[in-house]
Amino acid sequence: MNELPQQIDVLIIGAGAAGLMCAAVAGQRGRSVLVLDHANKVGKKILMSGGGRCNFTNLYTSPENFYSENPHFCKSALARYTQWDFIALVEKHGIPYHEKTLGQLFCDNKSKDIVDLLLAECRAAKAQVRTRCSIESVKPLGNGYRVETSLGPVQCQSLVIATGGLSIPTMGATGFGYDIARQFGLRLVPTRAALVPFTQHKRQLERQQELPGSAIPVTATCGAGSFHEQMLFTHRGLSGPAVLQISSYWREGEPVSFDLAPDLDLAEWLVQQRQEKPEAHLHTVLAGFWSKKLTQHFLSEKGIESRPLKQFSPSELAEIGMALQTWQLVPAGTEGYRTAEVTLGGVDTDAISSRTMECKTQPGLYFIGEVLDVTGWLGGYNFQWAWSSAHAAGEVV
């Protein structure tokens, strides 16, 4: 194994989406670049993303798709390296892709296509990438940084922290980036698991033990968030895109509201059904668009007894419709960082230049990607943030 170079222009810690992108951009400007990662291979989260097909960006990416204490911070980087720029790169590498839904672009083949793209760009830029290297300490010098590693010391002019968030520790996630931020006196926005399934209390799970695997479209609402997507019942609680999305808005103890028939005015529809099929039972009619199992569950949760529709008054049916469109529950919790796709919070963006990602109080120190307090919705937005923030830093480091 070659020794590490002792002196380098740009040292990037973290060979994930943001780190590799930044290395390629900086290297293409003629900077000497070294990327170090403690994992045994690069881009592990890219490889597992999008169910193995990497949802690498979203056609409709805009700053509104991100949460941060400072919602303006992401604007500059997203505007200067857009989804169209990354799509052009994907096309340059001949990677086949498709839109799945809601502007989400996935590889036709495997996520590995995206890792190969990044590594090819790094090779073309002569950026070196080394894995299985742990970082022992970071010390500021007059003009740059000295980093002690398990493979020896490295001095650099620019140090880029691209170590991501806390989700999926088994994939190599650590709080390293937050430790470096603390070392240099930067504030951290409290972190929380996000894009994560909800868990439910044992008694609730017992009541829905027939349901794991069932999925329906819903509108999930909590606080300022509202998402019309699929909800999936699981053995631990609730998942599916609508639940993952709303988990980013949820706080412990708060109720989440689900419209179980988001494409219909259920009150009006039930009254109409009463006119057309007065003899039909409520559960039979509802089982027309939910399954029988789900219908029974929803009716029993609301304490509604099924009878022929003619035995309900129109106002009773309207009330039932309303109740099923405002189904509320308080999740017990979330599955946490073990399965969360991302980490909310992170390095406070007040301390960072939104144009360059450089720390305002610590020249030559940069933070990019998920380690920052910028978190995207589900749907390719988090990778787009990694590409855009990495590109912004790569142009100046």
Q: Which segment (3-11, 49-57, 316-324, 349-357) binds ligand FDA by CB under 6 A?
A: 49-57
Q: Which stretch binds ligand FDA (CB under 6 A): 13-21, 73-81, 218-226, 272-280?
A: 13-21
Q: Does 241 bind ligand FDA (CB under 6 A)?
A: no
Q: Fill in the per-residue mask, 308 to 347: x = in contact with ligand FDA (CB under 6 A), - = not in contact.
A: ---------------------------------xx-----
CA-to-CA dists, residue 73 to 78, 279, 341, 347, angstroms: 10, 59, 22, 12
Is 16 a binding residue for ligand FDA by CB under 6 A? The answer is: yes
- Rounded CA-CA distance 162/177 in Å is 7
By beta-carbon distance, which residue lies closest to ligand FDA? 16
Examine residue 47 and tell whether it contacts ligand FDA (CB under 6 A).
Answer: no
Give the nearer residue to ligand FDA in terms of CB position, either 309 or 357. Answer: 357
Under the binding rule (CB under 6 A), the answer on residue 31 touching ligand FDA is no
Please, what is the Cα angle at 316 between 312 and 321, to 5 degrees?
110
Q: By CB under 6 A, is residue 391 in contact with ligand FDA?
A: no
Could you say whether residue 386 binds ligand FDA (CB under 6 A)? yes
The encoded tokens of residue 255 equal 């109720």
Task: Give the DSSP H or E segment for 28.
Answer: helix 17-28
Taking the complex as a whole, how short is the minimal distance between the CB of residue 52 and ligand FDA, in angstroms?
10
Position 196 contacts ligand FDA (CB under 6 A): no
Residue from 97, 145, 176, 387 in contact with ligand FDA (CB under 6 A): 176
Query: What is the residue type of 159?
Result: L
* Contact call for residue 174 and ligand FDA (CB under 6 A): yes
Q: Give the nearest distance from C-beta 299 to ligand FDA in angstroms.
A: 35
Q: Which of 8, 27, 37, 129 binds ligand FDA (CB under 6 A)?
A: 37
Beta bridge partners of 355: none
Specify the residue, 273 or 389, whose C-beta has the smaller distance to ligand FDA. 389
For residues 4 and 149, is the Cβ–Cβ distance under 8 A? yes
- The three state secondary structure string of 146-171 is EEEECCEEEEEEEEEECCCCCCCHHH
Nearest to 168 by CA among 45, 46, 53, 55: 45
Residues 284 to 313 in contact with ligand FDA, rule: CB under 6 A: none
Give one DSSP letter per residue of 74-95, joined into a string.
THHHHHHS-HHHHHHHHHHTT-
Q: Does 162 bind ligand FDA (CB under 6 A)?
A: yes
Q: Does 370 bind ligand FDA (CB under 6 A)?
A: yes
Number of residues that bind ligand FDA (CB under 6 A): 38
Closest to 234 measured CA to CA, from 204, 194, 255:
204
- Whole-angstrom Cα distance, residue 246 to residue 194? 9
59 lies in the site for ligand FDA, by CB under 6 A = no
* Beta-carbon count within 10 A of 284 CB: 16
Binding ligand FDA by CB under 6 A: which of 10, 19, 294, 331?
A: 19
Least distance from ligand FDA to the Cβ atom of residue 229, Å: 15
Measured in Å, how far apart are the chain's first and last C-alpha atoms? 27
Q: Answer left, alpha or beta for residue 370, where phi above 0 means left and psi between -120 and 50 means alpha.
A: alpha
**Nearer Cβ to ligand FDA, position 172 or 345?**
172
Instruction: Using CB under 6 A, pick the residue from 55, 158, 200, 295 that binds ligand FDA.
Output: 55
- Measured between alpha carbons, how far is 131 from 138 in angstroms, rounded to an integer? 18
Binding residues for ligand FDA, rule: CB under 6 A, are 13-19, 37-39, 44-45, 48-50, 54-55, 134-135, 162-164, 167-168, 172-174, 176, 341-342, 369-371, 380-383, 386
